[in-house]
Structure 1
Amino acid sequence: MTIDIGIVGAGNRGQQHAGEYETVEGATVAAVADIDEEAATELAEAHGASVYGDFRDMLEDAALDAVSVCVHNNLHRPVTVAAAEAGCHVFCEKPLAATYTDAKAMADACEAAGVELGVQNVELFTPETRAARTLIDDGKLGDPYYARGVFSRRRGRPYIDGYGTPSFVSKDASGGGPVIDIGTYVLGQLLYLLGNAPVERVGGSTFEHTADAYDEELVGDREVYGERLAESGYDVEDAGVGFAHLEDGSLLSLRAAWHMFLPDEPSVVAGSQGGLQIDPFEFYTTTADYEATVSLDLDEFERRQGLLGSETGYDVEGESQFAHWIDTLEGDAEAPIPTGELALNSMLVMEGIYLAQEAGRELTAEEIADRSESSAVEL
């Protein structure tokens, strides 16, 4: 069985998706669509695919099984809905959308069409996440009730600090800053480890000091800094912190920052009988009344599991998120990770942080859904 895939968006993410599919047995990049037809042609030729200037023409003409959505966040909804209505499974770049309203519409469209919705989150497929889930499933943590996720940089604002494109720091294109850009990784990971219980309420705050944060030692030439600020129209947060109470009584906290003068910290999960730190991986328990911090040999576990699951005994590499997606579509994934459901729940938390900041108080899941407005660009 071969899964014919269309790539929507021939930029950096589209190139990455196409390259990943080339390494997955059973996946073929059959078509590429982008309004930048030169970029689309270059990517299509690199993979022997058909090229289209309009993704709708691709959906109508190319007889695809699935689509990878690799465009700006505020374009995810129209592309995903159109693909679902055309009968295509959808694998979407993170985050699922720029607002919860748009993310929910995407999930609903895929459900109504009977197609799978997958969302990119590499953190769900790391050896550390697999080790954490293995310990949780084996009961080593007891009842997990708290998780802390951190993805924080001291200097790492896209475009302003010299990498990436202005769209990263434009609310019209992205929907937000680090909370939605990098926070989505750890939220999806930790919701997965906590069991992805429904969100009950969310609180949080965001901070933006880029406009008055010039420091020659940090960002270099003032004129260049000013030009980048002006050109990008920087209007998103530099940092955000928040928390989500889940309906099962557990609590999840998040700190996501592109520019914050604090160290990065490992994400953690605590349970009634044990706890763990994800990277570097440590397991916290007691034995014979001693408090114990246990290191696990993740590499050896992965090698052994690869050997046990290999027909030849030599294919010992861990499954990538793209291989997992194709396995899911082919019905070969033993326990598919619900990346779409995790991304939708994550979106509720992320927009909840923004809306709680505006409201000056915690908001219930129902209030977040009611206050969320579509920011999708009509195509």
Structure 2
Amino acid sequence: MSKLKVAVIGCGSIAKHRHLPEYASNKEVEIVAVCDIVEERVEEFATKYEAKAYTNYEELLLNSDIDAVSVCTPNYLHAPISIAALNAGKHVLCEKPMATSKEDAEAMIKVAEVTGKKLMIAHNQRFVPAHQKARQLIDKGELGKIYSFRTAFGHGGPEGWSADGLDSWFFKKEEAFIGAMGDLGVHKTDLLRFLLGEEFVEVGAFVETSAKKNADVDDTAVCVLKTESGIIGTLAASWSYVSKEDNSTVIYGEKGIMRLLDNPVDSLIIQYQNGEVAKYELGKIQTNEAGGQNNSQVIDRFVKSIIENEDSPVSGIEGMNSLQVVLAALESQKTKKIVSL
């Protein structure tokens, strides 16, 4: 069988560390094109992956050889490029957050339905082994009734790893639309929906810019969330954690407490009510650090869904529901009220 021909639009850090190397290591795939508005950047990747270089995505989409694209651009371009790619007959893997409004997200979903092409949103936290195991254990009733949770995703900010450093689009409202809450918070709204198997119905939030002098988007956010069955908890997303990254989630249930990525060795720990402790060493989360280059599974699952014609591993609707919690947090900050979804 001939290989799946893919293109990557946007050659910043996420493309460099995740999409391109993971496509390159997938035996079913051939990288045929790369696109970026920065000419020397795109030429470098074109040479490295023996692909055709484009500086205009519309031109790239006219290439009928391409079966699928990854959209790795600044947030404000996710929806228009994804919609153009779907209309051009390509399957689409779009980085998160999938769009900057519910309307744009709905438009993406509709076009995917009309064209019959796959649309996947790159929510990698679902595929972390500890999170997969946690979902199974929660589904099995290992914690009993879930009461509460707390989750955090914070690090020192995009300047540490973005291709443009301090001048990154991440800090510019017209390109990013939303800061730490869109970059990191949406990972956790998606993860919690995945783990708890429920939608959020109410959101209250403080979304501030307190750490970054060069940003006109938020860098520190704390949200209070409530699910349809009444599980309540907190979500923190921040670019102001200047030392060690925090990527932990704790779930409190009637039979015990589950700690995810909260311990450097055991990525899943359950502390039971009766004093017993279960520890699972399931490997760390994928990082972009040297030596931490394990596979995020996002690319492999996207490729498999196309080749085997399976449902999208993280559908547009899933992406939209995770985005809506983030949009509600912004609204809560603006109105100083609890927002109902």
TM-score of the alignment, normalized to the shorter chain, above 0.5: yes
Distance 1:328 1:143, change over 3 A: farther
Maintained 8 Å contact 1:158/1:165: no
Maintained 8 Å contact 2:128/2:296: no
Write the letter of the residue equivalent to 1:354. L
Alignment-derived partner of residue 271 in structure 1: 253
Is 1:294–2:278 an aligned residue pair?
A: yes
Distance 1:93 1:318, change over 3 A: closer
Maintained 8 Å contact 1:203/1:243: yes
Q: For residue 339 of structure 1, report the CA deviation from its aligned partner.
A: 5.3
Q: Which has the higher Rg, Structure 1 or Structure 2? A: 1
Question: C-alpha root-mean-square deviation of aligned residues, in Å?
Answer: 2.8
Q: For residue 285 of structure 1, report the CA deviation from its aligned partner.
A: 2.4
Distance 1:277 1:43, change over 3 A: same
Q: For residue 80 of structure 1, report the CA deviation from its aligned partner.
A: 0.4
Alignment-derived partner of residue 84 in structure 1: 86
Alignment-derived partner of residue 5 in structure 2: 4
Alignment-derived partner of residue 324 in structure 1: 301
Write the letter of the residue equivalent to 1:121. H
Task: Decide which of 296, 318, 330 is 1:342's aligned counterpart.
Answer: 318
Write the letter of the residue equivalent to 2:227. L
Alignment-derived partner of residue 172 in structure 1: 174
Q: For residue 332 of structure 1, report the CA deviation from its aligned partner.
A: 7.5
Q: 1:104-127 CA distances to partner (integer Å, 9 max, x unpaired)?
A: 322232233222221223322222
Distance 1:322 1:252, change over 3 A: farther
Identical aligned residues as a percent: 28
1:67-78 equivalent positions in 2, closer than 5 A: 67-78=69-80
Alignment-derived partner of residue 236 in structure 1: 217
Report the TM-score, using the length of structure 2 for normalisation: 0.84
Report the TM-score, using the length of structure 1 for normalisation: 0.76
Is 1:251–2:232 an aligned residue pair?
A: yes
Whole-angstrom distance in 2 between the partners of 1:46 and 1:261: 33
**Which 5+ residue runs of structure 1 have no aligned equivalent?**
212-228, 300-316, 366-379
Q: For residue 158 of structure 1, report the CA deviation from its aligned partner.
A: 3.4
Q: For residue 362 of structure 1, report the CA deviation from its aligned partner.
A: 1.0
Alignment-derived partner of residue 201 in structure 1: 202
Distance 1:86 1:252, change over 3 A: farther
Q: For residue 319 of structure 1, report the CA deviation from its aligned partner.
A: 7.1
Maintained 8 Å contact 1:192/1:342: no
Is 1:157–2:138 an aligned residue pair?
A: no
Q: 1:257-312 CA distances to partner (integer Å, 9 max, x unpaired)?
A: 112699947311233444311113211324xxx2322212436xxxxxxxxxxxxx
Is 1:362–2:338 an aligned residue pair?
A: yes
1:43-62 equivalent positions in 2, closer than 5 A: 43-62=45-64
The answer to which structure has the higher helix fraction is: 1
Whole-angstrom distance in 1 between the partners of 2:180 and 2:232: 21
Alignment-derived partner of residue 189 in structure 1: 191
Maintained 8 Å contact 2:302/2:313: no
Distance 1:52 1:161, change over 3 A: closer
Distance 1:145 1:260, change over 3 A: same
Maintained 8 Å contact 2:4/2:30: yes
Instruction: Report the secondary structure of 2:21's partner residue.
Output: helix
Q: 1:54-73 CA distances to partner (integer Å, 9 max, x unpaired)?
A: 21222122332211001100
Please identify, of 138-147 and 5-14, the stretch whose mean Cα deviation from structure 2 is larger: 138-147
Runs of 4+ in 1 over 6 A off after TM superposition: none
Q: For residue 140 of structure 1, report the CA deviation from its aligned partner.
A: 1.2
Q: For residue 192 of structure 1, report the CA deviation from its aligned partner.
A: 0.7
Whole-angstrom distance in 2 between the partners of 1:318 and 1:145: 33
Q: For residue 245 of structure 1, report the CA deviation from its aligned partner.
A: 2.2
Whole-angstrom distance in 2 between the partners of 1:265 and 1:58: 36
Instruction: Report the secondary structure of 2:280's partner residue.
Output: coil
Q: For residue 349 of structure 1, report the CA deviation from its aligned partner.
A: 0.8
Maintained 8 Å contact 1:184/1:343: no
**Which 5+ residue runs of structure 2 have no aligned equivalent?**
284-293
Instruction: Report the secondary structure of 2:205's partner residue.
Output: strand
Whole-angstrom distance in 1 between the partners of 2:107 and 2:254: 37
Whole-angstrom distance in 2 between the partners of 1:32 and 1:265: 31
Distance 1:296 1:39, change over 3 A: closer
Maintained 8 Å contact 2:119/2:312: no
Whole-angstrom distance in 2 between the partners of 1:35 and 1:95: 21
Q: For residue 176 of structure 1, report the CA deviation from its aligned partner.
A: 1.6
Whole-angstrom distance in 1 between the partners of 2:271 and 2:53: 53
Alignment-derived partner of residue 270 in structure 2: 283
Q: 1:210-251 CA distances to partner (integer Å, 9 max, x unpaired)?
A: 47xxxxxxxxxxxxxxxxx4xx4x212221111232234333
Distance 1:164 1:345, change over 3 A: farther
